[in-house]
Structure 1
Amino acid sequence: MNYFELFDIPVSLQPDKKSLPKKYFDLQKKYHPDFFSQSDEDEQSEALQKSSDINKGFKILQDLDLTIKYVLQLKGLLEEEEKYQLPPDFLMEMMELNEELSEDSEKAIRSRENDIYNEVKDIIENYNDATITTDKLLKVKEYYFKKKYLQRILDRMND
C-alpha cells in the first residue's frame, strides 16, 4: 500500500496539510465499512481494510517524523527497527548533555533539534521525488535518527 497513491498526492516529506483532510474525508465517504453493510463478505472485508489503510495513511501523512520514516522506507533506505549508527561526535555531545541534565536542558535540546533540522530544512521543504538524490535522503535519515535520540532524552526528562 502506497499512501501517496491512495491519497492521490505527490510523494513529499511535507504533504499539503490543507488538502489532506479533504482527501481523507472523501476517501472515508467512499470506503467506510458502514456503506458496505449490505454487500457480500468479501466486499465488506475489502472496505474494512481500505478504511484501515486510509486511517493509517492519514496519520502518517499528517506527522513530519512519520512521513520522513515512511518515505525513507518507500525508497528502501530504512528498515523497520533498524539499528542506525549515529556519528560519534553527536553521541559524545549527547553523552555530555545527558550528564548535565537540568531544568534548562529542555531548551538546549530544543535548540539542538532546531540546529539539526536546519541542516536538512532545504531538502525537506523543497523535496522533489523526481530529482532527490540518495545522498540527500541519507542526510534526512541521519536527521530522523538524531531527532529520535533527542526525543528519547526529552521523554526521560518528563518521566
Structure 2
Amino acid sequence: MTNYFSLFNIPEKFSIDLIELKARYQTLQKLTHPDRFVNASDQEKRMYMQKNTQINDAYFVLSASVKRGEHILDIRGFKRVDEQATHSDNSFLMQQMMLREQLSEATDEVSFNALEDEVTTLTNDLLDKVRNGLDSHNEAGHRAAADALTKLKFLAKLGEESLARKEQIL
C-alpha cells in the first residue's frame, strides 16, 4: 500500500494544511503530467501516467477528512469493521432516527438551517474524536477513530440528502 503522506512529503497526521496539500499536488502534477512526456518511450509514458494517476488518487484521499482518516488507519494496519455492522452505540442510533425525522419534516429554510447546524456540530465533534483517536497511536484510539469515521459517513450522507431535499422543496 502506498503511503500518500510520503508521496506528498507531509507528516502522517489527521490535521493537515489543505492549502499546502494543494500546492504540493499542483507541483507533483506538473512534474508527472503525461503532456510533458510526449516524446518519451511508451514505457516511460505509461510510468508517468501511472504516477500521475497515483498523485490524483492521493490528493482525493488526503483532501477528504474521512478518506484521510481511513488511510491513516490502513497505513497503521488497523482493520476496520464492516460499514454495515451498525454501531452498538444506542445514543447515536437514536440520534440518527431523530435527524432522519427532522429531515423528513423539514419544509422551510428555518428547519433546514436547524438541521444543517446540528449536523455541523455533530460533525465537528466527531472530527475531534478522529483526531484525538489517531493522535493516541494505540488500539483503543484507532478503534474510537474508526467508529467516529463511520458516524461521519452517515452525517455526510444525511447532509447530501438534506441538500437535495432542500433544493427540491425550496
TM-score range (shorter-chain normalised) is 0.7 to 0.9
Matched residue type, 1:72: L
Spell out the pairing of 1:73-92 with structure 2 (5 A cutoff). 73-78=74-79, 82-86=83-87, 87-92=89-94
Spell out the pairing of 1:107-122 with structure 2 (5 A cutoff). 107-108=114-115, 110-115=117-122, 117-118=124-125, 121=128
- 2:98 is aligned, of 96, 99, 123, to 96
Q: Does 1:13 align with 2:14?
A: yes
- Percent of residue pairs bearing the same amino acid type: 23
Gaps in structure 1 of 5+ consecutive residues: none
What is the CA-CA distance between 1:115 and the residue it aligns to? 3.6
What is the CA-CA distance between 1:120 and the residue it aligns to? 5.2
Please tell me the root mean square deviation across aligned C-alpha atoms, in Å: 2.8
Q: Which has the higher helix share?
A: 2
Spell out the pairing of 1:127-138 with structure 2 (5 A cutoff). 128=135, 132-138=137-143
Q: Does 1:150 align with 2:150?
A: no
Q: Does 1:29 align with 2:36?
A: no
Q: Could you say which structure has the greater relative contact order, defined with CA pairs below 8 angstroms and 6 or more residues apart? A: 1
Spell out the pairing of 1:47-62 with structure 2 (5 A cutoff). 47-62=48-63
What is the CA-CA distance between 1:72 and the residue it aligns to? 2.2
1:80–1:49 Cα change, 3 Å: farther
What is the CA-CA distance between 1:148 and the residue it aligns to? 1.4
Whether the 8 Å CA contact 1:109–1:150 is kept in 2: the answer is no
SS in 2 for 1:18: helix
Aligned to 2:43: 42
Give the whole-Å Cα distance in 2 for the aligned partners of 1:51 and 1:155.
Answer: 30
Gaps in structure 2 of 5+ consecutive residues: 166-170
The TM-score with structure 1 as length reference comes to 0.79
The TM-score with structure 2 as length reference comes to 0.75
SS in 1 for 2:74: helix
Matched residue type, 1:89: S
Query: 1:46-94, CA deviations, whole angstroms, 9 ceiling, x for partnerless residues?
Result: 1000001111111221221221122222223355974343222211232
What is the CA-CA distance between 1:113 and the residue it aligns to? 4.5
Matched residue type, 1:121: D
What is the CA-CA distance between 1:127 and the residue it aligns to? 5.6
Give the whole-Å Cα distance in 1 for the aligned partners of 2:80 and 2:129.
Answer: 24
